[in-house]
Structure 1
């Protein structure tokens, strides 16, 4: 009878022991650096061309789900709380990156951000939505405040043919617990669940990274 021994890995570098989490942390940082380099080298035009088959397939799928939904939408929400930065400081940094436009900061927030061109009033985006890349054009619009969220930024995402395929609402408020951010995305109701659940994690990833970048920038400016 044989027994299975659990895998354990020990790493020693210059006499210092590092656990598996430390090595994975190093891998994450190097993976981010590799992605930044590849995205910089590709540029927007080559990225569009490279992903054209994927975005064309996504256009077809989204158009079908939109027809099947018959005007019905399904919402999914992600909420974050952060200390060490307030709403005004974060929004000044984040909106500044959009208006700059700061392509590096916009792409770095999520490994599945392939293109983010915010040079005009509309942000052209290629990012993973569901199972693959989707190209859409996001337009933000003024949104009334509420008692719970003094800053609300709504937006609609359209395909190149003008079809509305997603809606977002970004809400911000300061509280005793810290900066509260509520992020809502709506997709056509007939779309697979993976679009909604995937985008909840997508929001969690990108906004946490933007919060860290904003906090670093604010700290460096003091």
Structure 2
């Protein structure tokens, strides 16, 4: 073999065996989710948070330092999802109920959801922000905390996207480390979700990119769960 020798890409296809539908990727995803659910169940909420305590401390320090260095400036990115077969009027009540205290479907929506539940300071989320495991709160902070949303460049016309939710993301000490703006509008056969996240302006670009992917995974799974709940 020479130093510059190249090989064609290797592909593996399933020709026979399992009788159920799905690809090898589908099988792997099923088993990965099952294994993750087992660890979550065995550890329990507090056990998982204890296990991740050092990661959370490091992740929150990253967010705090990024927010302070950015001096209140944020950069935004938006993930857009198109749903068919379900309206926003069917999805949003399901999501509201889940966020009111049904933690299990919230956790199941993404492998990097570690805790999601109402807390004394707001709705507490423990999840990855880019490569960092962070614990933050969603809601307002301070006087006129949500006024930014009315002037956000990402705000879409009310007539097309009448269902809007905005939030600050802040640490337990009150440091605002991000923002979220979600907007939903019905279409002829479903609805469109415009999901905008704001991270500190000095944060690496890949932090923003990975949260846009995070949005795609969690909201797709929440939408599917809401549709399944109709049965």
Specify the TM-score bucket, using the shorter chain as the normaliser.
Answer: 0.7 to 0.9
What is the TM-score normalised by the length of structure 1?
A: 0.87
**Corresponding position of 1:80:** 81
| Cα deviation, residue 10, structure 1 | 4.4
Q: Contact 1:112/1:128 (CA < 8 Å) preserved in 2?
A: yes
**Structure 2 counterparts to residues 101-180 of structure 1, below 5 A:** 101-118=101-118, 122-139=122-139, 146-176=158-188, 178-180=190-192
1:17/1:91 Cα in 2 relative to 1: closer, same or farther (>3 Å)? closer
1:17/1:176 Cα in 2 relative to 1: closer, same or farther (>3 Å)? closer
1:3/1:192 Cα in 2 relative to 1: closer, same or farther (>3 Å)? closer
Q: Give aligned pairs, total.
A: 215
1:63/1:12 Cα in 2 relative to 1: closer, same or farther (>3 Å)? same
Q: Match of 2:23, SS?
A: helix
1:187 aligned onto 2:199: yes
**Corresponding position of 1:215:** 227
1:12 aligned onto 2:24: no
Runs of 5+ consecutive residues of structure 1 not aligned to the other structure: none
| Cα deviation, residue 68, structure 1 | 1.3
User: Root-mean-square deviation (CA), in Å?
Assistant: 2.6
- Cα distance in 2 for residues equivalent to 1:53 and 1:3: 43
- Cα distance in 1 for residues equivalent to 2:188 and 2:24: 36
- Cα distance in 1 for residues equivalent to 2:184 and 2:121: 22
- Cα distance in 2 for residues equivalent to 1:96 and 1:171: 18
Q: Contact 1:76/1:185 (CA < 8 Å) preserved in 2?
A: yes
- Cα distance in 2 for residues equivalent to 1:128 and 1:135: 9
1:40/1:8 Cα in 2 relative to 1: closer, same or farther (>3 Å)? closer
| Cα deviation, residue 113, structure 1 | 0.5
Runs of 5+ consecutive residues of structure 2 not aligned to the other structure: 141-145, 151-156
Q: Contact 1:156/1:168 (CA < 8 Å) preserved in 2?
A: yes
| Cα deviation, residue 200, structure 1 | 0.3
